[in-house]
Structure 1
Amino acid sequence: MSSDFWNARFATDEYIFGTAPNVFLASQAALIRPGMRALAVADGEGRNGVWLAEQGASVHAIDVSPLALEKARKLAAVRGVALDFEQADILDWNWPEAAYDLVAAIFIQFAPPPERDHVIAGIRRCLKPGGLLILQGYTPKQLEFGTGGPPSAANMYTADLLRDWFGDWDILHLAEHESVIREGSHHHGRSALIDLVARKPGS
Structure 2
Amino acid sequence: MWDDRYGSEGYVFGTEPADFLRARADLLAPGQTALAVADGEGRNSVFLAQKGLSVTAMDASSVGIEKAKRLAAERGVSIDFQIADIHRWNWTPEAYDLVVAVFIQFLTPAERPAVFQGMIRTLRPGGRLMLHGYRPEQVDYGTGGPPHRENMYTEALLREAFSDLVIEELDSYDADINEGHGHVGRSALIDLVARKP
Q: Counterpart of 1:59?
A: 55
Q: How many residues align?
A: 197
Q: Unpaired runs of 5+ in structure 1? A: none
Specify the code of the residue in structure 1 equivalent to 2:39.
D
So what's the TM-score if we normalise by structure 1?
Answer: 0.96
Q: Counterpart of 1:16?
A: 12
Q: Counterpart of 2:126?
A: 130
Q: Which of 137, 141, 146 is equivalent to 1:145?
A: 141
Q: Which of 171, 174, 180 is equivalent to 2:170?
A: 174
Matched position secondary structure for 2:90? coil
Q: Counterpart of 2:77?
A: 81
Specify the code of the residue in structure 1 equivalent to 2:188.
A
Cα RMSD between the aligned structures?
A: 0.7
**Superposed displacement of residue 114, structure 1:** 0.9
Q: Counterpart of 1:96?
A: 92
Q: Counterpart of 1:105?
A: 101
**Superposed displacement of residue 13, structure 1:** 2.4
Matched position secondary structure for 1:140? coil
Q: Unpaired runs of 5+ in structure 2? A: none
| Percent of aligned positions that are identical | 56
Contact kept, 8 Å, 2:113 with 2:161, in 1: the verdict is no
Q: Measure the CA separation in 2 of the matches of 1:138 and 1:113.
A: 14
Q: Which of 27, 36, 40 is equivalent to 1:44?
A: 40
Matched position secondary structure for 1:178? strand
User: Once superposed, which parts of structure 1, at least 4 consecutive aligned residues long, lie more than 4 Å away?
Assistant: none
